[in-house]
Amino acid sequence: MSDKNLTPMLAQYHRIKNDYQDALVLYRLGDFYEMFYEDAYKGAKDLNIALTKKKVGKDKYIPMCGIPYHAADSYISRLVAKGHKVAICEQLEDASKAKGIVKRDVIRVITPGTFFENEKMKSALSSVFPAGKDYGVSYLDLSTGEFFASVMDEENLISFIGKFQPKEILIPENRKFSFIKENFKNTFLTYLPEDYFDEESIKELLSFFNTVHESSFGFTEKEKSALHASAAILKYSRITQKSFLPFIATPRPYRGDIYIRLDYSAQKHLELVSANEGNIPLLRVIDRTLTGMGRRRLKFFILHPLKDVQLIKKRQEAVEELYQNSTVREKIREILNEIFDVERLISKISSGTMSPRDMVALKHSLKEIQNLKKLETSINSDFLKDLFSKIEDFHWLADKMEKTLEDNPPVHLKEGGLIKKGVDPILDELKEIKEKGNEWIKEYQEQQREKTGIQSLKVGFNKVMGYYIEITKPNLKFVPEHYRRRQTLSNAERFTTEELQRFEEKILSADEKIKALEYEIFMKLREEVAFISDRIAKTAQQVGILDAIQSLSTIAVEKGWVKPEISDNYSIEIKEGVHPVIAETVPDFVPNDLKMDEKSFFHIITGPNMAGKSTYIRQSAIIILLAQTGSFIPAKKGKIGVVDGIFTRIGSGDILSKGLSTFMVEMLEVSNILNNITGRSFIVLDEVGRGTSTYDGLSIAWAISEYISKKIRAKTLFATHYHELTKLEEEIRGVKNFHMHIYEDGENIKFLYKVMEGFSNKSYGVHVAKLAGIKEEIIKRAYEILYHLEEEQEKKIDETIINISQKKEDYLPLFKELQEEPAEKEYIQIIREIENIDLASMTPIEAMVFLNEIKNRIKKSSEY
The residue ranges that bind ligand ADP (CB under 6 A) are 582, 586, 589-590, 607, 609-615, 753
> How many whole angstroms separate alpha carbon 265 and alpha carbon 263?
5
Instruction: Identify the H or E element spanning 848.
Output: helix 844-861
Query: Are the beta carbons of 391 and 380 closer than 8 angstroms?
Result: no
Q: Which is nearer to ligand ADP, 637 or 796 (CB)?
A: 637
Looking at residue 379, its amino acid is I
Is residue 579 within 8 Å of residue 589, measured between CB atoms? yes
Task: Report the C-alpha dihedral over residues 262, 267, 268, 270, rounded to 10 degrees.
Answer: 100
CA distances from 596 to 67, 436, 634 (A): 63, 83, 18
Nearer to ligand ADP, 574 or 847 (CB): 574
Query: 751 with 615: CB under 8 angstroms?
Result: no
Q: How far is the CB of 808 from ligand ADP (least distance, A)?
A: 30
Question: Residue 352 CB: number of other CB atoms within 10 A?
Answer: 14
- Parallel, antiparallel, or unpaired: how do β-strands 572-577 and 681-686 relate? unpaired
Query: Which partner in ligand ADP, Mg ion, none is near 615 (CB below 5 to 8 A by kind)?
Result: ligand ADP
Closer residue to ligand ADP, CB minimum distance, 16 or 756: 756
Whether residue 612 is annotated as binding a ligand: the answer is yes
End-to-end CA distance of the chain: 65
Does residue 769 contact residue 747 with C-beta atoms inside 8 Å? no
Residue 617 or residue 670: which is nearer to ligand ADP going by CB? 617
When the beta carbons of 88 and 266 are compared against ligand ADP, the nearer one is 266
DSSP structural state of residue 589:
P
**What's the rounded Cα separation, in Å, for the pair 579 and 621?**
10
In whole angstroms, the minimum distance from the beta carbon of 585 to ligand ADP comes to: 8
Longest dimension (CA), the chain: 117
The distance of closest approach from Cβ of residue 840 to Mg ion in the complex, given in angstroms and rounded to an integer, is 25
Indicate which of Mg ion, ligand ADP, none lies near residue 631 (CB less than 5 to 8 Å, by partner kind): none
Residue (of 404, 423, 636, 424) closest to 525 by Cα position? 404
When CB distances are held under 5 to 8 angstroms depending on the partner's kind, the choice from ligand ADP, Mg ion, none that residue 348 binds is none
Least Å distance, CB 701 to ligand ADP, is 15
- Residue closest to Mg ion (Cβ): 614
Least distance (Å) from Mg ion to the CB of residue 183? 24
614 is known to lie in a ligand binding site = yes
Which partner, Mg ion, ligand ADP, none, binds residue 112 by CB below 5 to 8 Å per kind?
Answer: none
CB-nearer residue toward ligand ADP: 31 or 277: 277
Least Å distance, CB 614 to ligand ADP, is 3
Contact call for residues 686 and 269 (beta carbons, < 8 A): yes
Confirm whether residue 609 is marked as ligand binding: yes
- Closer CB to Mg ion, 235 or 649, in the complex: 649
Q: Name the residue nearer to ligand ADP (CB basis): 615 or 631.
A: 615
Burial class of residue 575 (count of CB atoms within 10 Å of its CB; 0-12, 13-18, 19+): middle
Smallest gap from Cβ 608 to ligand ADP, in A, equals: 7
Of residues 82 and 762, the one with the C-beta less far from Mg ion: 762
CA distances from 149 to 154, 407, 673, 710 (A): 15, 40, 25, 37
Residue 753 binds: one of ligand ADP, Mg ion, none (C-beta under 5 to 8 A by kind): ligand ADP
| DSSP symbols for 201-266 | HHHHHHHHTT-S-GGGGT--GGGHHHHHHHHHHHHHHHHHHGGG----PPPEE--GGGB-EE-HHH
Residue 644 identity: D
Dihedral sign for Cα atoms in the order 108, 114, 115, 118: negative
**Binding partner selected for residue 586 from ligand ADP, Mg ion, none, CB under the kind-specific 5 to 8 Å limit:** ligand ADP
Residue 611 interacts with which of ligand ADP, Mg ion, none, CB < 5 to 8 Å by class = ligand ADP
| Helix (H), strand (E), coil (C) string for 274-311 | CCCCCCCCHHHHHCCCCCHHHHHHHHHHHHCCECCHHH
**What size, in residues, is the chain?**
864
| DSSP assignments along 489-547, one per residue | -SSEEEEE-HHHHHHHHHHHHHHHHHHHHHHHHHHHHHHHHHHTHHHHHHHHHHHHHHH
Q: CB of 452 within 8 A of CB of 477?
A: no
CB of 404 to ligand ADP, least distance (A): 57
Instruction: Rank residues 511 and 593 by Cβ distance to ligand ADP and give the closer one.
Output: 593
Give CA angle at 304 (299, 310), nearest 5°. Answer: 120
Report, in Å, the least distance between residue 388 CB and Mg ion.
Answer: 46
How far CA 323 is from CA of 39, 391, 555, 859, in Å, comes to 57, 21, 9, 65
- The option from ligand ADP, Mg ion, none interacting with 556 (CB < 5 to 8 A, set by class) reads none
* Count of residues in contact with Mg ion, rule CB under 5 A: 1
* Amino acid, res. 811: Y
Least separation, in Å, of the C-beta of 586 and ligand ADP? 4
**Residue 279 interacts with, from ligand ADP, Mg ion, none (CB under 5-8 Å by kind):** none
Torsion, Cα 643 645 651 652, to 10 degrees, reads 160
In the complex with Mg ion, the residue whose CB is nearer, 610 or 812, is 610
In the region spanning residues 290 to 329, those forming contacts with Mg ion, defined by CB under 5 A, are none
* Least gap, CB of 303 to ligand ADP (angstroms): 23
Residue 607 counted as an annotated binding residue: yes
| Closer of 522 and 764 to ligand ADP (Cβ) | 764
Nearest distance, CB of residue 613 and Mg ion, angstroms: 5
> Which position among 614, 631, 705, 716 is part of the footprint of Mg ion (CB under 5 A)?
614
CB of residue 602 to ligand ADP, shortest distance in Å: 18
Distances (CA, A) of 178 to 183, 228, 586, 672: 9, 20, 42, 17
User: SS3 breakdown of the chain: % helix, strand, coil, rounded to 5?
Assistant: 50, 20, 30
Within 202-261, the residues that bind Mg ion by CB under 5 A are: none
- Among Mg ion, ligand ADP, none, the one that 476 touches (CB under a kind-dependent 5 to 8 A) is none
Q: Which is nearer to ligand ADP, 732 or 768 (CB)?
A: 768
**592 touching Mg ion, by CB under 5 A:** no
Q: Which residues are annotated as a binding site for ATP?
A: 607-614
Contact residues for Mg ion (CB under 5 A)? 614
Q: Which residues are annotated as a binding site?
A: 607-614
